[in-house]
Structure 1
Amino acid sequence: MPERILVTGGTGQLGSAVVDRLVTAGERVRALSRRRRRGAGADWVVGDLRTGRGLDTALAGCDVVLHCATDHRHEVDVMRTLVEAARWTGNPPHVVYVSITGVDRVPLGYYRAKLAAEELLADSGLPHTIQRATQFHSLVRAVLAGVSRLPVAPVPRWRFQPVDVRDVAVRLAELANAEPAGRVPDFAGPEVLTATELTLALLTASGRTRRVLPVRLPGGLYRAYAEGGNLAPGHADGVITFQEYLAQQKDPAALRYH
């Protein structure tokens, strides 16, 4: 049982869900944020993963780091800063890194950065666990909401396996109390659905009707998604479905504008 768990990105979508989960479970939680925060039952520490400012205070006395922070432009630099700071502690913590399913199969710049960050952590000598997860419900919703505003909604002939951040938070809480395990099996949502099915679910939830037009696109990115590089059907461990997530939104009409 860890004495204290540090959550990076504690104010983010995933980080806040993780903090809530750990606090509810009675864990001693410290959360890192670039701005001063209070509440949520956690000990908030101000720090910056890009510069390393405040990391010595944040890491002091922590046995586990749940690294939920992400930085699209500086992912590797952020990981390097965290690794170096963790090495300087008297008792290097177990670092749990949240990555993305398909970072080694889908040719996106951000995915390549996540993969490089995975490799940096794996080679760091620190006790670590790498947990890849499929796309979050909110990300899939945001992408499809954009195209569904058009008179005809063009969607790629892709499949997705979206997962809820609350389910991922449950998994991360389990990993925080487990031994370092290197890369563990991916964590994916409960259903594999086509972009067409997801778009129709979003339209229904927002009270709209549109014609949805599946389209093919050229290039390696399209092919990687079409071949299921973003999926982990053998690890459908999430519980909350996309339709359940949509139904739980406080203002269904607002789904139109994200």
Structure 2
Amino acid sequence: MGALLTVEDGAPVALENAEAGSRILLVCEHASRRLPERLGTLGLSAEALESHIAWDPGALAVCRLLTHALDATLLYQRFSRLVYDCNRPPDSPSAMPRLSEIFDIPGNAALSDAERLVRTQEIYSPFRTSLSELIAARVANGRPPVIVTLHSFTPVWHGQPREVEVGILHDSDRRLADAFLSDAAGDDAFVTRRNEPYGPQDGVTHTLIEHGVHNGLLNVMIEIRNDLIATKDGQRVLAGYIGTHLGRALASLET
């Protein structure tokens, strides 16, 4: 099995505002629906590749607004999670899914061990290494980062509408999640809940555990219902809501 990424594809990981003034490190694992040239369409229709199975619509846009509002650093994955879901370890079946929601993924149906290894080496490993090295450098400089991963989710799941609008997720370290939820408790702008619509039991806290919990760093995962951030206005409103409560939550933990 040869290389996956071409020169035209570019790097798998992007970094913005590297010299940010705040400690907040935003991470967006599902920022893009782009596929490497050599994988074609993975056998999927244009409709499927524009849907939530390929990426988290609106998540990168909100991250970029927060990057400016909070003077945060942003690190994100430049290829679709259908190629490799960087919020999953290599041994997870959902790292390179054969089925996503209602869609079969033909290009992932019969991956050989060699093909899985190439995807891991060219997509996941650079992402993991970039994040690890950035964290280590900040810690060494006496500026331990605060890890905030940001995602979006569908308003309907297997025919069932989801009432929750913003999910504040955590694994064993709940400090930042608790502080966010406490600050947002009096704000009824959005239905905000703990570990919904997903939680640790769904295997979604890989990045938090690997880079936050294991390093003793404050961390939280934020999920936004994607119908709320389908427009620029919606993205600005949600970035304002999250930025306000995240900033105050962090301040409360630092006093």
TM-score (norm 2): 0.28
Q: Which of these two proteins has the greater Rg computed from alpha carbons?
A: 1
Given the two structures, how large is their TM-score scaled by the length of structure 1? 0.28
Which structure is higher in RCO with an 8 Å CA cutoff and minimum separation 6? 2
